[in-house]
A = this chain, B = another copy of it.
Amino acid sequence: MARITDQNKIERLKHSTMKLVVEHGFGGASAALIAKDAKVASGYFYLHYKGKYEMVNAILQEVYQEVFEKFDQLLSEASSFIDTLNKMVHHFVRIANTEPIKVKFLYVLTSDYSFVIDPQIREDTFKFISRLKDFGRSSGSLDEAITDDDLYLILFINTIQFINQRYKNNPKRESISEEDIEHMLYLLNKFIR
């Protein structure tokens, strides 16, 4: 046998990728800059990924998975629809406060025509949204007029946009407060009625 892949190196690579995609956009984040930032050889990531596009999509998949795994869990052990939404938003904000780069990364990539999100990710997301909608409907807590797309937009996109608006308004201290969460939930509750 021989050496084992240095996982720390992979982690550095992932973090630098997110950082540079946020700072320069998907198209502006070059392999050279990412490698330099991660303190890794310039050709390093080709050993693990076919190219920049695949790497970014793999990282995105992990971030999505992290988010939706918890969401799935919250939904399966849910008491009420409203309570589930509350917990989802709290979870999202927790990620935002511990690893803001992840939420910025989602923000940048979800509003990009040049970057096509893996169809599997999209499918999983909308499967979840559909389950959530059914739960809301069956418990009479969700306005019948609200579609899957609406729910995705309001719950997922809006939350990402809200958090990033806070980041942009307040580049110094990036933490999202409990008051902010309350406010987000207040707005969210109006929507679902």
Contacts and interface: CB of A to CB of B under 8 A. Distances in A.
Contacts of A190: 143, 190-191, 193
A86 to B, nearest CB: 17
Interface string A133-169: 0000000000101100110111001100110110001
Nearest to A189: B190
Would you call the interface of chain A mostly helix, strand, loop, or mixed? helix
* Count of chain copies: 2
Contact of A186 (B29, B145, B162): B145
Interface of A: 22-29, 104, 107-108, 110-115, 143, 145-146, 149-150, 152-154, 157-158, 161-162, 164-165, 169, 183, 186-187, 190-191, 193
A112 B25 contact: yes
